[in-house]
Amino acid sequence: MKISYLWLKEFVEFDFDARTLAEKLTLAGFEVEDVVEKRLDYPGVVVGKVLKREKHPNADKLTVCTVTVGEAEPLTIICGAPNVAEGQVVPVARIGTRLPIGLTIEKAKIRGVSSEGMICSRRELGLEDDSQGIWVLPEGLPPGEALAKALRFETDYVIDLSVTPNRPDALSHIGIAREVAAIAGKRLQLPEPRFPETSESASGSVAVEILCPESCPRYAARLIRSVKIGASPDWMVRRLEAVGMRSINNIVDITNYVMMETGHPLHAFDYDLLEGGKIIVRESEDGELFITLDEKKRELRRGTVLICDAARPVAIGGIMGGLNSEVHPKTANILLESAYFQPESIRKSVRYLGINSEASQRFERGADPNGVIYAQSRAVQLMAELAGGEVCRGVVDNYPRAIHPVEIDLKAEQINKLLGTALTAEEMEALLAGIELTVRSGKVVVPTFRPDVQRTADIAEEVARRYSYDKIPVSEKTAIPYQTVFNPFDDYLDELKNILTGMGLQEVVTNSMINCRVWEKLTGQPIYPILNPINPEMDGMRNSLIPSLMGVLQWNLNRQTGDLAIFEINKIFYHPGDITRQPREQYHLALALAGLREGSAWYSDRQLFDFYDIKGFIQGLAGKISLDNLGFIAYDNFAVESQAARILAGEEEIGYFGKARSDLQKHFDIETPVYVAELDLQKIYHLTRAEKKYREIPKFPAVGRDLAVVIDRATAAEDLISAIEKEGGKYLRRAFVFDVYSGKQIDPEKKSLAFRLIFQANEKTLTENEVNEAIDNILRALEKTFGARLRS
Amino acid sequence: MKEQIEKVKAQLLQEADAINDAKSAEDFRVRYLGKKGQVTELFRGLGQVEPQHRPEIGKLLNELRTLAEQAIEEKKSRYAAVRREDQIDLTLPGRTPRIGRKHPVTLVREEIKTIFERLGFAVADGPEVETDYYNFEALNIPKTHPARDMQDTLYISEELVLRTHTSPVQIRTMLKQKPPVRIIAPGRVYRRDTPDASHSPFFHQVEGLCVDENVTMGDLKAVLSVFAQQLFHKKDLRARFRPSFFPFTEPSAEMDIWWESSKGGRWMELLGCGMVHPNVLEGVGIDPEKYSGWAFGMGIDRIALNKYGISDIRTLFDNDMRVLAQF
């Protein structure tokens, strides 16, 4: 909402300058976004008259103008605007003038011709953000006179406020003035509309019938005869411009002016275009067609308020007038509507119609049913004064069930308890009185222009607002409950991030929205779709983090960051098969590796990340979080293939990892091999919740033995280890692979696996014999089961 | 001659100190004791010295030579002690393990969480695909409420939305847990905004809720002021509260903090907050006559942008390693 500082001053005498006012309004809950100065009293900006206009000899688009500024010698001014013409009165900025757009006028040669000033546009004078051509002034202004003086242009400030949706009353100058009056401790002074009425009674020519009093509780009509449609006076045009409205003609301007002043939207019909001298307010039927004054054909749904004459609809009530009854240059008689429409009815209609008019904005937030007559009278007064209208006697006011002010008990104690203040009821009363919330026998009477005030909490806000939020004392201590529902899962996610970053993985945070079509094809699974996506790239909720990580790899690889080890912990969404149901949301962890393991540093082995790197990250993490009994089974899915495995923890499948699929690599245009992993964190969390228990360490020394065997290439190390553990006897503590070899001296169909075996007893030092016996048993078993042979 | 000897001696002592490896020790030897070394040259000049001074000058020269020899001996033995295999190049970078860092949004989230945990708040969570009821209705935002226009919503179906704020977690928490309630709910939210420098269709918020008997707006001011001081590591951070509107709080406020800058500073909106609306409390079966509460919601990403001086929100989600490596 744009508010003119000068306009505001008509209703309240306050002393703040525009900046101070802006600050005070912000602190009262009307956040000021901008304050724009509108002035014309720049030294050197004067009225000029174009005496002669000639083509510039050296430039097609320029003209050379001879302009008098009231002195003996006229000025030669080069002008680039196409609309400049002889005889025009124009604003001229003389040499040395500094314009608000930051330009200082200097004597200059433009393509060989000297220019002694500038003919200005409204933009160059800071009045508009954008304007077409130079500003042509009214004729008869004396050349040479200062422009501001000649136009009687008073410096104004336009204050751009963001009005919250609960305050329809503040969408007007009077509404804001009421707040300013309270802040400044001054009285609000409202214009008192007075106008002569003719002997003709309005009710003789106009009848108003309301068929839907629920959605239109009040409709008041006035008849004004013999208006002369014409231009509005300058002061009105200027005010409308200040608040961002274009002048149309005096009648339409008056309705807009009064709306900006009082907050109540009005509509003027050409009375002679209404059939039967009748207004019927009814709700629309499904499929009714109506052409609004923006010349658009609208198909209505059932339940929209229509203003009709005896034969047809003439306006969509509270939203937009109709083309068929619009005021036009020949209009003589006006039917002036001032009505109150029920906010929800308007909201429903604007939502499907897609119309957001100044009127509908106010009605849908809640206009004042008891402000109908005041606003109408104000407009009638202006129509009489400015358009020569003759006002028929009386208002045809249909208001079947009056809407009365709400009364709320003033519960001072409860308000203090909510705010943490210690105000007396009298102090509260005084604060409330400033904004016309009067207290009568212990009850706050809430005027109907404040539909937002409904219960004690609302009264508390008004008290606090008037008292100032800053004055509410800050508490010094609080009681904290001992029993609190803490959330170990969230801590666990934080801990995982600590571990993973400690392992050298970089965290990324990516978009959860992905392209359904592409991802359904790539994953072979349904993607949970978004009904009204921003664009097709974001029309579904991801069912895996892998696509997002591939995207991050791609972004960085394209920017020459080649060696990447990244992870993300975030939610994924499983389509429940039915979009009326919420998806299953699961926290996943995903890893991705690409490029050189040690980068290109001097010590790097220049090895690309491989399968054992991604597996190592998983095992390292598992070790750190005590996730035991991991098992790996060859696997492939939409993300991984060939060198890939499913991860089991005991019986439970907790994720997968491996080499990214080639079609995935291709989709992201990544050539270097990528290794990825994805784990279900909810499952892992439940598997690792057990408290840690201490195990005593053995007191007697351990004996280590190495055993290298040659076996078939395809034999899995894990199978041999199982056999070793089985046959190793009770003193075998641990067995692991410490070397894998194939090559020289080994049959190409075979490989050598070297195991380190650790033997230990809790109660004694082991003898050589005891260990040898175990090794013999192991070897026999390996020979028998796997055809293994001791490598010499 | 004497003066010359003194001069060479002073220079020699100074240069001897500067010897820091075997090579500079050898250079030193050549410079002073070599065939054309300065000390050698001085000895050559001994012939021209008058005979009666010769013994004295000779003694001085011998002392000088001994001095040089000692210096060379000492330094050579020190630096020769560095065995070949022990030779290092101090300037080569060390074998640095790969360094992983947390994302800036995570860093700010953790900082916020830590502060509120110190103040007795627990972390609550809720779904990102929410029902219309939790995201709007229960928060006093009926279907036709004009406040629904304040945020453009991404819908899944008539009744399901991508949550537009973390506020539904308030409702979920209050339905599960009776007062006292002290929670924060950090999480991801969505709006139907086309991405630009200041908009991302997904971003992160943290919600706060405190419900108990005798909870006042003074408590809200206290907790949020302390929070902001700790978040920005500034004990004397200036903050102000001004009236605003949210359908689910009454009174409602916005909290601004004074943001110092080279141009002098400005008020910066930090968060929205207020006393929980009695309609909301009633909706979850809490008696607003007995209990009161306050709530707040703020953008984590926005704070990260301000804290780290990033001007484009998209920078956070491009995940460019050159950016992430700075945190």
Q: Are the beta carbons of A124 and A103 closer than 8 angstroms?
A: yes
Q: How far apart are CA A378 and CA A336, in angstroms?
A: 11
Q: Quote the DSSP letter at residue A627.
A: -
A279 CB-side CA count, 13 A: 37
Strands of A399-464 (E only): list them: 406-409, 438-440, 443-446
Pairing of the two strands A390-393 and A197-201 = parallel
Cis peptide before B251 (omega within 30 of 0): yes
Q: Which H or E run contains B252?
A: strand B249-259
Buried b (16+ CB within 10 A) or exposed e, A62-74: bbbbebbbeeeeb
Cα A288 to chain centroid distance, Å, stands at 35
Q: How far apart are CA B188 and CA A542, in angstroms?
A: 14
Q: How confident is the model at residue A693 (pLDDT cuts 50, 70, 90)?
A: confident
Q: How far apart are CA A301 and CA A353, in angstroms?
A: 9
A512 contacts in chain B (CB < 8 Å): 128, 188, 202
Token couple for A482: 């001992």
Contacts for A421-425: CB closer than 8 Å, 24+ residues apart? A421/A463, A421/A464, A421/A467, A421/A472, A421/A473, A421/B218, A423/A463, A423/A467
What is the per-residue pLDDT for B149? 62
HEC secondary structure over A127-178: CCCCCCCCCCECCCCCCCCEHHHHCCCCCEEEEEEECCCCCHHHCCHHHHHH
Cβ separation A531–B154 shorter than 8 A: yes
**Would you list the DSSP string of A540-562?**
EE-S-SHHHHHHHHHHHHTTT--
Checking phi first, is residue B178 left (phi over 0); if not, alpha (psi -120 to 50) or beta?
beta
A580 contacts in chain B (CB < 8 Å): 157-160
Q: Tens digit of pLDDT for each residue in A366-420?
A: 999 999 999 999 999 999 999 999 999 999 999 999 999 999 999 999 999 999 9
Q: Inform me whether the pLDDT recorded for A235 exceeds 60.
A: yes
Contacts of residue B273, defined as CB under 8 A and 6 or more positions apart, other chains included, come to: B208, B220, B224, B241, B249, B252, B253, B254, B255, B294, B295, B296, B297
Report the residue from B120, B157, B221 with minimal CB separation from A579.
B157
Interface test with A, best of B102, B319, B322 (most A CBs within 10 A): B319
Q: Inform me whether the pLDDT recorded for B151 exceeds 70.
A: no
Cβ separation A470–B182 shorter than 8 A: no
Buried b (16+ CB within 10 A) or exposed e, A293-319: beeeebebeeebbbbbbeeebbbbbbb
Cβ separation A531–B102 shorter than 8 A: no
Q: What are phi and psi of A206, to 5 degrees?
A: -130, 135
- Closest by CA position to A259, among listed A187, A324, A337: A337
Q: How confident is the model at residue B52 (pLDDT cuts 50, 70, 90)?
A: confident
Residue entry with tokens 């995201």: B135
Q: Are the beta carbons of A633 and A646 closer than 8 angstroms?
A: yes
SS3 call for A253: helix
A489 inside 8 A of chain B by CB: yes
| Interval B291-310 mean pLDDT | 95
**CA quadruple A534, A538, A543, A544: dihedral positive or negative?**
negative
Q: Tens digit of pLDDT for each residue in A171-186?
A: 999 999 999 999 999 9
Q: Inform me whether the pLDDT recorded for B147 exceeds 90.
A: no
Q: Tens digit of pLDDT for each residue in B14-44?
A: 888 888 877 888 888 888 888 888 888 888 8
Q: How far apart are CA A161 and CA A169, in angstroms?
A: 13
What is the per-residue pLDDT for B64? 87
Q: Tens digit of pLDDT for each residue in A6-52?
A: 999 999 999 999 999 999 999 999 999 999 998 898 889 999 999 99
pTM: 0.84
Q: How confident is the model at residue A132 (pLDDT cuts 50, 70, 90)?
A: confident
Contacts for A354-359: CB closer than 8 Å, 24+ residues apart? A355/A292, A355/A316, A355/A319, A355/A320, A357/A319, A357/A320, A358/A245, A358/A256, A358/A259, A358/A265, A359/A259, A359/A265, A359/A267, A359/A318, A359/A319, A359/A320
Q: Are the beta carbons of B126 and B175 closer than 8 angstroms?
A: no
Contacts of residue B192, defined as CB under 8 A and 6 or more positions apart, other chains included, come to: A532, A534, B152, B153, B154, B201
What is the per-residue pLDDT for B71? 84
Q: Tens digit of pLDDT for each residue in B205-256?
A: 999 999 999 999 999 999 999 999 999 999 999 999 999 999 999 999 999 9
Token couple for A143: 């050349």
Q: How far apart are CA A337 and CA A274, in angstroms?
A: 13
- Closest by CA position to B208, among listed B301, B122, B137, B302: B122
A577 inside 8 A of chain B by CB: no
**Would you list the DSSP string of A84-137?**
--TT-EEEEEETT-B-TTS-B---EEETTEEE-EEEPPTTTTTS-SS-SS--PB
Q: Are the beta carbons of B276 and B292 closer than 8 angstroms?
A: yes
Residue entry with tokens 């290092």: B88
How far does the CA of residue B242 sit from the closest CA of chain A (Å)? 5
What is the per-residue pLDDT for A373? 97
Q: Tens digit of pLDDT for each residue in B156-195?
A: 998 999 999 999 999 999 999 999 999 999 999 999 999 9
Q: Where are the alpha helices (DSSP H) in A689-738?
A: 717-727
Q: Tens digit of pLDDT for each residue in A706-747?
A: 999 999 998 999 899 999 999 999 999 999 999 999 888 888
How far does the CA of residue B119 sit from the closest CA of chain A (Å)? 8
Average pLDDT, chain A: 93
Interface test with B, best of A360, A363, A475, A596 (most B CBs within 10 A): A475
Q: Where are the alpha helices (DSSP H) in B278-320?
A: 278-283, 300-308, 314-318
Cα B140 to chain centroid distance, Å, stands at 39
Report the residue from B93, B101, B251 with minimal CB separation from A464.
B251
CA dist B116 → A71, A366, A733, B203, B204 (Å): 74, 39, 47, 20, 17
Q: How many CB atoms lie within 10 A of CB B274?
A: 26
Cβ separation B150–A165 shorter than 8 A: yes
Q: How far apart are CA A686 and CA A682, in angstroms?
A: 6
Q: How confident is the model at residue B82 (pLDDT cuts 50, 70, 90)?
A: low
Helix %, strand %, coil % for chain A, to 5? 30, 30, 40
Q: Which amino acid is at A15?
A: D
Q: Which H or E run contains B310?
A: none
Q: What are phi and psi of B297, to 5 degrees?
A: -145, 135
**CA quadruple A766, A770, A771, A774: dihedral positive or negative?**
negative
B140 contacts in chain A (CB < 8 Å): none
Q: Are the beta carbons of B241 and B160 closer than 8 angstroms?
A: no
How many contiguous H segments (helices) and E segments (strands) does chain A have?
20, 40
**Would you list the DSSP string of B31-66?**
HHHSTT-HHHHHHHGGGGS-GGGHHHHHHHHHHHHH
Interface test with A, best of B118, B217, B269 (most A CBs within 10 A): B217
Cis peptide before A488 (omega within 30 of 0): no
Cβ separation B149–A601 shorter than 8 A: no
How far does the CA of residue A29 sit from the closest CA of chain B (Å)? 4
| Interval B296-307 mean pLDDT | 95
B157 contacts in chain A (CB < 8 Å): 531, 579-580
Cβ separation A602–B254 shorter than 8 A: no
| Interval A466-477 mean pLDDT | 94
| Interval A300-309 mean pLDDT | 96
What is the per-residue pLDDT for B2? 81
**Which residues on adjacent β-strands are paired with residue A756?**
A706, A736
Q: Which of residues 418-457 of A touch B (CB under 8 A)?
A: 418-421, 455-457
Q: Quote the DSSP letter at residue A179.
A: H
Pairing of the two strands A305-308 and A278-283 = antiparallel
Q: Which amino acid is at B312?
A: D
B308 inside 8 A of chain A by CB: no
Q: Are the beta carbons of B43 and B95 closer than 8 angstroms?
A: no
| Distance separating the N- and C-terminal Cα atoms of chain A | 91
A658 inside 8 A of chain B by CB: no
